[in-house]
Amino acid sequence: MSNTLFSLAFGVGTQNRQGAWLEVFYAQPVLNPSPELVAAVAPILGYEAGNQAIAFSNAQAAQLAVALKDVDTAQAALLTRLAESHKPLVATVLAEDAALASTPEAYLKLHLLSHRLVKPHGVSLAGIFPLLPNVAWTNQGAVDLAELAELQLEARLKGELLEVFSVDKFPKMTDYVVPAGVRIADTARVRLGAYIGEGTTIMHEGFVNFNAGTEGPGMIEGRVSAGVFVGKGSDLGGGCSTMGTLSGGGNIVIKVGEGCLIGANAGIGIPLGDRNTVEAGLYITAGTKVNLLDENNQLVKVVKARDLAGQTDLLFRRNSLNGAVECKTHKSAIELNEALHAHN
């Protein structure tokens, strides 16, 4: 057995009546655990190699707590608490960052993102959708959809209400972790697996998908789609949109550089370099024809927006007289041509 692992976490979760995992909560996931930690827990869990989700008992949790007392006090304290659990326990061990094979593995990788241990695109999420069951997220936790009607009736007969907040594969992030130094006006609009950097404010209409997020600080009043990462100091105006790899962006990774502004109801389907501004109401896709203007507002050439992807200090706007999309820069025509040819 190798003592070098990608990740290790002890969790408590929810199973349906057939024993299938619906969700798992990891209070303290570990990235690249120490060899000493791995060596202490492996014999108790019966772990030998590979990526595994290993169910363990309250008694084993107590054993693990003792074994880790002098190795990792934080994990030992957690396991002491897990030993008191009335819900099923699971230890998820990832020897490598490989394609996912179980629901506990999927939840661990989502936790790694939201705990800021890895950034978007920093971990493989291949095969995640079939491993995330579509469940009812209620005031009593995750409920299997096949069991929901019966539990709703049981609650009513007791004079109670089983409230369903959403029916989805992904829970909201804040039910699992609230990262330090953030403001989130409507927590239902940030999914587990989002990376929310310190200093980020997400207003009521802001939305952040999984494997996406913000470096922080920044203001998010628009949509950060799956796979999109927003650089520090950038603002997304009300109702604006970023095109994710799941919604037509193909294999192009859409990102927003540092110090950018995407205006209200605007949108991008190309990566933005640092200090870019997109005028309110203007949606730029990769194939959008753009009139490229130099520092003197002279037309240099007509290009596709994809040719401007990742370049710094650009202003995208729509000409109010003729409707043409324009890109204004402080660079000379010669500098612009050199930058465009560098992409060939």
| Binding site members for succinyl-CoA | 223, 238, 241, 264, 279-280, 287, 304, 317-320
Nearest Cα to 193, choosing from 119, 248, 253, 256?
119
Burial 175-185 (b: 16+ CB within 10 A, else e): bbbebeebebe
Nearest Cα to 2, choosing from 61, 50, 53, 56?
50
Q: Enumerate the known binding-site residues.
A: 205, 223, 238, 241, 264, 279-280, 287, 304, 317-320
- H or E segment and range at residue 110: helix 103-114
Q: Enumerate the known binding-site residues for Mg(2+).
A: 205
* N-to-C CA span, the chain: 48
Q: What one-character-per-residue DSSP string does 263-289 give? A: -TT-EESS-B-TT-EE-TT-EE-TT-E
Decide the pairing of beta strands 183-184 and 194-196: unpaired
Say which amino acid occupies 258: E
Q: Which residue has the tokens 């003197």?
A: 296
- The sign of the torsion formed by the CA atoms of 227, 202, 285, 259 equals negative
Candidate list 105, 215, 221, 326, residue with the active-site label: 221
Whether residue 221 lies in the annotated active site: yes
Q: Which residue has the tokens 């190795």?
A: 71
- Cis peptide leading into residue 217 (ω within 30°): yes
CA distance 16 to 181: 35
With a CB cutoff of 8 Å and minimum separation 6, the contacts of 344 are none
| 3-class DSSP assignment, residue 92 | strand
- The residues assigned a catalytic role are 221
